[in-house]
Structure 1
Amino acid sequence: MTRIELATEVGADIDRILAHLVEYNVENPPARIQEIIQAISVLEYNPLIGRTVNSNNRELVIGRRSHGHVALYRYLAEIDTVFVLALRSQKEAGYI
């Protein structure tokens, strides 16, 4: 099973997403954050599932539309580890 490591900056990304959900009165913001974290866990078994962004990074699309987010990550096969580098809403990432 592939190990997943979150960059320190991802904590700030999660805080920003949570604040946005609270600001717009989204129902049960902590559950929405949990859904995002659970979706990232798919990388434990499928680290190459995300689309290639450049030669080193990949993007995992999580959810869709107003529930959509994108996790930017890098997989290092040599140590069987995924490093999640950033987390953005799909709107921030320019998908919607």
Structure 2
Amino acid sequence: MAEDFARILDHLDRHDAARREQRIDGILRAIDVLSDNPLIGRPAEAELRELVIGRDVSGYVALYRYLSEFDTVLILAIRAQREAGYAPP
């Protein structure tokens, strides 16, 4: 996930995106919601889920897996909504 944030920050810097800090803060706050609502994301492939964060040019999708036996959420990848696919976990 650290690589995903580095890629997102690099992209925001290269394109001089407005509100860079607010975008990252929004991603982190959305991920925090999963601690109380781990099934809020839409079902994806296999046992994975996707949390949609924001929309349009400032929208992201977090791919995650909820391990109910451990009450743990594993964030596998974060991508801009306009990006295709995820990097291998």
Instruction: Note whether the superposition's TM-score is higher than 0.5.
Output: yes
SS of 1:12 mapped into structure 2:
helix
Specify the alignment match of 2:20 in structure 1: 29
Structure with the larger helix share: 1
Q: TM-score, normalised by structure 2?
A: 0.89
CA displacement at 1:68 relative to structure 2: 0.5
CA displacement at 1:55 relative to structure 2: 2.9
2:34 to 18, 40, 43: 43
Same amino acid, percent of matched pairs: 53
Asked which structure has the greater RCO (Cα within 8 Å, sep 6+), the reply is 1
Deviations for 1:3-38, whole angstroms, at most 9, x for unmatched residues?
A: xxxxxxx10000000111111111231221111111
Segments ≥4 residues shifted beyond 6 Å: none
Q: Which runs of 5+ in 1 are unaligned?
A: 1-9
Deviates more, 1:28-37 or 1:73-82: 28-37
SS of 1:17 mapped into structure 2:
helix
**Residue 18 of structure 1 contacts residue 30 of structure 1 at CA under 8 Å; is this kept in 2?**
no
1:77 lines up with 2:71 in the alignment: no
Q: What is the aligned residue count?
A: 85
C-alpha distance in 2, partners of 1:42/1:93? 24
Matches within 5 A, 1:47-66: 47-66=38-57
Q: TM-score, normalised by structure 1?
A: 0.83
1:20 to 11, 24, 27: 11
